[in-house]
Amino acid sequence: MDSALIRPASPADLPVITRIYAQAVLHGTASFELEPPGEAEMTRRYANITEKGMPYLVAERSGAVVGYAYAGPFRERAAYRYTLEDSIYVAPDAQRGGIGRALLARLITESEARGFRQMIAVIGDSAQHGSIAVHRAAGFTDIGVMRASGFKFGRWLDVVLMQRALSDGDASLPGSVR
């Protein structure tokens, strides 16, 4: 399969990002949202991430956006300011082609360049074997499973937690983060 171009997302990408996410919400268990947000809400979320200086990326193949990823705050309290949570979504027809892996690798690089020290993956549904494998391949380790903590499509879903140190991790004190 041809390689993807990974680049920063722009507001012009938001209609496609909204469609990719809507597909994931309506047909998958990676997101625990039950109703897909509209473009205005996705625009608000994009602005919230990018205005904080956190990376938001898209993957293009043959000029078309086929996936996106971003790193947002893990939690809002100040002590978590060096810890990010990653999110990766790939269009159904582009899955299993290395897009998620490429997005995650670039997301890690971009997060390290911004001075962040930890990345947490909060993976909806322990049956998301592809996502778990992509994170393991990128150096994430299992840190726990929250059993039956979501309910979607008439069944209980687990949440898998994974973690990866960025740059020096906790081996040194952090510099400044925007």
* DSSP-assigned states of every residue in 13-76: GHHHHHHHHHHHHHH-SSS--SS---HHHHHHHHHHHHTTT--EEEEEETTEEEEEEEEEES-S
For residue 2, name the pLDDT band (cuts at 50, 70, 90). Answer: low
What integer best gives the mean pLDDT of the chain? 95
Q: Which domains, ranges and CATH numbers included, belong to the chain?
A: 5-165 (3.40.630.30)
Rounded average pLDDT over 126-149: 96
Each residue of 90-118: pLDDT tens digit?
999 999 999 999 999 999 999 999 999 99
pLDDT digits (tens, 9 = 90+) for 57-84: 999 999 999 999 999 999 999 999 999 9
